[in-house]
Amino acid sequence: MRLRRSLHFVPGANEKMMGKALTLGADALIFDLEDSVTPEAKLAAREAVCDWLDENHECGKERLVRVNPLDSPWGRDDLEAIVMHQPDGIVLPKVFSRETVESVDSILRMAEKMLPEQATLPRLVLIGTEDAGAVFNLPLMTSHPRVDGLTWGAEDLSVSLRARRKRDSNGNYLEVFGFVRSYCLLAAAAAGVQPIDSVYTDIRDIAGLCRESETAADMGFTGKLTIHPDQIEVVNAAFTPSSEEIERAESLLQAFEEHRRSGKMAFIFEGSMVDVPHLKHAEQLLAVAAQIAAQNS
pLDDT of residue 83: 92
pTM: predicted TM-score of the whole model, two decimal places:
0.93
Strand (E) positions, the chain?
A: 6-11, 28-32, 62-66, 89-92, 123-127, 147-151, 194-197, 223-226, 267-269, 272-274
Considering the domain architecture, whether residues 108 and 177 belong to the same structural domain is answered as yes
pLDDT along the chain (297 residues), means of 10: 94 96 96 97 98 91 95 95 93 93 92 77 81 92 95 93 95 96 97 96 96 97 97 98 96 96 94 96 96 88
pLDDT of residue 113: 81
Phi, psi of 2 (to 5 degrees): -70, 150
Considering the domain architecture, whether residues 148 and 53 belong to the same structural domain is answered as yes
Residue 1 lies in a domain: no
Q: Radius of gyration over alpha carbons of the chain, in Å?
A: 20
Considering the domain architecture, whether residues 227 and 82 belong to the same structural domain is answered as yes
Residue 162 lies in a domain: yes
pLDDT of residue 275: 96
Contact 141, 98 (CB under 8 A): yes
pLDDT of residue 120: 73
Residue 228 lies in a domain: yes
SS3 of residue 244 by DSSP: helix
Considering the domain architecture, whether residues 113 and 255 belong to the same structural domain is answered as no
Q: Please name the residues in contact with 40: beta carbons below 8 A apart, sequence gap of 6 or more.
A: none
Considering the domain architecture, whether residues 196 and 140 belong to the same structural domain is answered as yes
pLDDT of residue 256: 96
Considering the domain architecture, whether residues 116 and 261 belong to the same structural domain is answered as no
pLDDT of residue 115: 79
Considering the domain architecture, whether residues 155 and 270 belong to the same structural domain is answered as no
Domain CATH number, residue 127: 3.20.20.60
Structural domain of 103: 6-238
Contact 121, 113 (CB under 8 A): no
Domain count across the chain: 2
Considering the domain architecture, whether residues 115 and 222 belong to the same structural domain is answered as yes
SS3 of residue 126 by DSSP: strand
Separation of first and last alpha carbons in the chain? 18
pLDDT of residue 228: 97
Contact 68, 75 (CB under 8 A): yes
pLDDT of residue 129: 74
pLDDT of residue 229: 97
Considering the domain architecture, whether residues 91 and 233 belong to the same structural domain is answered as yes
